[in-house]
Amino acid sequence: MEIQVNGGTIAQKVDFAYGFFEKHIPVDAVFQKDEMIDIIGVTKCKGYEGVVTRWGVTRLPRKTHRGLRKVACIGAWHPARVSFTVARAGQNGYHHRTEMNKKVYKLGKAGHESHAAMTDYDRTEKEITPVGGFPHYGVVKED
């Protein structure tokens, strides 16, 4: 996880961050309940893909010569270049994305009552993890 360090000179920021190397930092030392945060990451990589999969372009008719999973016309004769707005094959996924203003609804310690998913409105006892775990992640075991 990466967190921006604010304030002071660059040397002070480096010294501050260096003090946390190889140390356990609890999640409640960084985030608070009802705080709005930005999440930065990369999308799932899908490699090199064609225009139909990458951009959702309509396939050409069955009897098309030289392939049908293409863009029918990539532009006029002049200007003698392909516009950036024309769908082309290429890398799909592994793109840098930022999701802004995500709210932290609950923070809890593993093994404590605060780790449960009970709220003031719904007092039934249940875990924060849904039945079967989160897709592509599993069961939440830590803070």
CA distance 3 to 89: 35
DSSP-derived pairing of the beta strands 96-103 and 36-42: antiparallel
Q: What is the pLDDT of residue 42?
A: 95
Instruction: Parse the chain into domains and list their residue ranges.
Output: 108-143
Task: Specify the pLDDT at position 60.
Answer: 97
User: SS3 for 14?
Assistant: helix
At 123 the pLDDT is 81
Q: Name the stretches of the chain with pLDDT < 70.
A: 1, 114-115
Give yes or no for a contact between 38 and 44, defined as CB atoms under 8 angstroms apart. no
